[in-house]
Amino acid sequence: MKNKLLNLSLKSKWMLAVGVTIFVSYALISVVLYIALQTWLIHNEEKNALRTVDDMTTYFESQGNTVTVQALQNNTALMKAILNQEQTVRVFNLDGIEVMRINDAAPAAQLPKNQNYFSTMIEKQTISGSENYVIHRVVQIGQFQGIMQLIHPLAAFQSMMNYILTTIFIIGFGAILFSVMISYYLANMLMKPLVQLRDAMSFVRRNGFTAQPKFDYTAKDEIGDLLHMYRTLMNELEISFTKQQQFVADASHELRTPIQVIEGHLSLIKRWGKDEPEVMEESLNTSLTEIARMRKMIEELLQLARREQADEQASADIEQVYEQVKEELLQLYPNAEFHLTVNGDKTAASITEHALAQIFRNILSNSIRYNSNVPNLHVTIDYNELQSPISVTIDDNGIGISEQHLPHIFDRFYRVDASRTNKVAGTGLGLSITKMLADKYEVEIDVESKLQKGTFFYLKLLKK
């Protein structure tokens, strides 16, 4: 049963929940109202009947000691005015014989057995199929003592209650029908975009990211948010999917070349190497260089593919990291000249030392490697007290990069001089790694370059 309910469609669950809630609340309110009304109305009927009996008693007492039942019977007009049309009053003598009757709307009720012991007795009695309040009271009319019987029919009260009950049922039925209709409409309206979303998902599953699903739901509520999120997620997935495909294609293409070179040289060695030691020497050297390049490329590719989460707690001393990279580079390029200028009070940057060192290493080593004359490298660090980013400028006086190439230098495998004869063995991945790290730690990176003048790299690092 529970499983059956759980497996119902969302629309049915919604309608069932609304229907049951409205039905239960309405039923509870109706029962309480009905009981309260019934108690109040029946109490009113009882009060009316008792008042009539009191009025009749007062009337009998006001007639004095000399009045007879006969005299009263001859003039019933006043007494009829005390009663209402449905009430009947009968007076019996103590032997139970009727001596007077005012109105005749209902047949007489049975007199109580122990007449001597009561003054007023009230009870509910059914007389010829209909319910009545029957009140008996001992009365004194002049010298005559007898029993007054009032029959107060409850037919009006009962038809009032029946009317209320019918109204409750009709309104209740109408309310439930109305609410089910409204909830059906609402459920349909709310489910429509979800159904569209499900269809879109299954379409993407079958056909890939080829088609962009269209949703006609434009409201800015939770469902609108969900659709928007789905669209954004799909776009991001598509972008990363395309990037990944591009990456695999580029990587296999780039790796194919060194393998072909090594293959060529190995065949050379196999054919001529034994006889010509120079050929063997040269081929082995070239193969080793290509293998070293391949290893570097694979390491860098792995680094790009890894994409670990940024370390929120990271903090780096820019000058210290710079000095460390400078020392490293001076070992490799002893003739390079580095000049550092620092402005402002030292503050830590929000990046790991490892990532910052790699960014510096890539930019600085490019400046040395790609410039034939030994470059004069200027590094300026600006700690601005008022501005949050710490600005770092790295400029060289080298060959520069032409406008045509400049926008692409951060792309994977992009090399300005792609020909293999170029003396500088690069993978074209250095600046993509720099960009990836910069994005990860929210470092803004910009480049300006002029041919034969030099290249400027601008970094803006968040303060820790």
Nearest to 349 by CA among 249, 457, 461, 183: 461
- Residue of 106, 297, 409, 437 interacting with ligand ADP (CB under 6 A): 409
Q: Is 258 in the site for ligand ADP (CB under 6 A)?
A: no
Q: Is 283 in the site for ligand ADP (CB under 6 A)?
A: no
| Contact call for residues 30 and 167 (beta carbons, < 8 A) | no
For residues 60 and 137, what is the distance between their CA atoms, to the nearest angstrom?
12
For residues 228 and 274, what is the distance between their CA atoms, to the nearest angstrom?
68
The closest residue (CB) to ligand ADP is: 426
Q: Is 397 in the site for ligand ADP (CB under 6 A)?
A: no
For residues 39 and 45, what is the distance between their CA atoms, to the nearest angstrom?
10
The SS3 call for residue 96 is coil
Q: Is 88 in the site for ligand ADP (CB under 6 A)?
A: no
Q: Is 146 in the site for ligand ADP (CB under 6 A)?
A: no
Shorter beta-carbon distance to ligand ADP: residue 52 or 371: 371
Site for ligand ADP in 155-214 (CB under 6 A): none
| Min dist. Cβ of residue 201 to ligand ADP (A) | 39
For residues 80 and 68, what is the distance between their CA atoms, to the nearest angstrom?
18
For residues 65 and 365, what is the distance between their CA atoms, to the nearest angstrom?
136
| Min dist. Cβ of residue 328 to ligand ADP (A) | 16
Q: Is 89 in the site for ligand ADP (CB under 6 A)?
A: no
- 371-375: long-range contacts at Cβ-Cβ below 8 A with a sequence spacing of 24 or more? 371/396, 371/397, 371/398, 371/399, 372/398, 372/399, 373/398, 374/333, 374/335, 374/336, 374/337, 375/336, 375/337, 375/454
The one-character DSSP state at 308 is: P
Shorter beta-carbon distance to ligand ADP: residue 85 or 373: 373
Q: Which stretch binds ligand ADP (CB under 6 A): 91-99, 143-151, 177-185, 412-420?
A: 412-420
User: Beta 390-396 vs 376-382: how paired, if at all?
Assistant: antiparallel
Q: In this structure, what token pair is assigned to residue 291?
A: 């293998």
| Contact call for residues 147 and 140 (beta carbons, < 8 A) | no
Q: Is 377 in the site for ligand ADP (CB under 6 A)?
A: no
- Residue of 52, 350, 362, 397 interacting with ligand ADP (CB under 6 A): 362
Q: Is 357 in the site for ligand ADP (CB under 6 A)?
A: no
Q: Is 338 in the site for ligand ADP (CB under 6 A)?
A: no
Site for ligand ADP in 444-463 (CB under 6 A): 455
Q: In this structure, what token pair is assigned to residue 105?
A: 């709307």
| Contact call for residues 283 and 261 (beta carbons, < 8 A) | no
| Contact call for residues 458 and 396 (beta carbons, < 8 A) | no
Q: Is 396 in the site for ligand ADP (CB under 6 A)?
A: yes
- Residue of 26, 157, 184, 414 interacting with ligand ADP (CB under 6 A): 414
How many CB atoms are located within 10 Å of the residue 383 CB?
18
Q: Is 416 in the site for ligand ADP (CB under 6 A)?
A: yes
Nearest to 135 by CA among 164, 159, 156, 106: 106
Q: Which stretch binds ligand ADP (CB under 6 A): 49-57, 94-102, 281-289, 366-374?
A: 366-374
Q: Is 251 in the site for ligand ADP (CB under 6 A)?
A: no
The SS3 call for residue 329 is helix
- Residue of 153, 193, 273, 428 interacting with ligand ADP (CB under 6 A): 428
| Min dist. Cβ of residue 404 to ligand ADP (A) | 12
| Min dist. Cβ of residue 450 to ligand ADP (A) | 11
- Residue of 137, 265, 361, 415 interacting with ligand ADP (CB under 6 A): 415
Cα radius of gyration rounded to whole Å, the chain: 52
| Min dist. Cβ of residue 360 to ligand ADP (A) | 13
Q: Which stretch binds ligand ADP (CB under 6 A): 125-133, 338-346, 376-384, 426-434?
A: 426-434
| Min dist. Cβ of residue 434 to ligand ADP (A) | 7
| Min dist. Cβ of residue 257 to ligand ADP (A) | 14
| Min dist. Cβ of residue 277 to ligand ADP (A) | 33
The set of residues, in sequence order, having a beta carbon less than 8 Å from that of 119 and lying 6+ positions away, is 137, 138
How many CB atoms are located within 10 Å of the residue 113 CB?
7
For residues 311 and 238, what is the distance between their CA atoms, to the nearest angstrom?
27
Shorter beta-carbon distance to ligand ADP: residue 290 or 396: 396
Q: Is 429 in the site for ligand ADP (CB under 6 A)?
A: yes
Q: Is 401 in the site for ligand ADP (CB under 6 A)?
A: yes
Which positions touch ligand ADP (CB under 6 A)? 362, 366-367, 370-371, 396, 398-399, 401, 409, 414-417, 426-432, 455
